[in-house]
């Protein structure tokens, strides 16, 4: 097992995720989460960046450190 570089960390921003899925049927939310997990496992950063509730790298930590 190798350590993941900080630049490769994938963050889900809960507030944005819940706002994006508000009113969406649970089955669709589950499918979205499954899709996100597959993209994360395959390290498809370009596809993940299309979701505004996903952050790649340490930007999320820097923004929320205070």
Tens digits of residue pLDDT in 8-38: 889 999 999 999 999 999 999 999 999 999 9
Domain positions in the chain are: 7-63
pTM equals 0.75
Q: Please tell me the least confidently modeled range out of 43-47, 49-53, 59-63.
A: 59-63
Q: Using CA atoms, how far apart are residues 50 and 7, in angstroms rounded to an integer?
A: 17
Whole-number percent of the chain with pLDDT over 70:
77
Q: Using CA atoms, how far apart are residues 63 and 66, in angstroms rounded to an integer?
A: 8
Looking at residue 1, its pLDDT comes to 44
| Residues 64 and 20: beta-carbon distance below 8 Å | no
Looking at residue 52, its pLDDT comes to 94
Q: Using CA atoms, how far apart are residues 1 and 12, in angstroms rounded to an integer?
A: 23
**What's the sign of the alpha-carbon dihedral 54, 24, 26, 39?**
negative
**Cα angle 1-50-63, degrees, rounded to a multiple of 5:** 70
């Amino acid at each position: 097992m190798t350590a993941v570089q900080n630049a490769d960390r994938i963050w889900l921003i809960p507030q944005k995720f819940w706002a994006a899925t508000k009113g969406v049927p649970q089955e669709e939310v589950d499918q979205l989460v499954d899709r996100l997990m597959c993209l994360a496992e395959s390290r498809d950063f370009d596809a993940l960046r299309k979701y505004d509730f996903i952050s790649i790298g340490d930007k999320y930590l820097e923004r929320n450190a205070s």
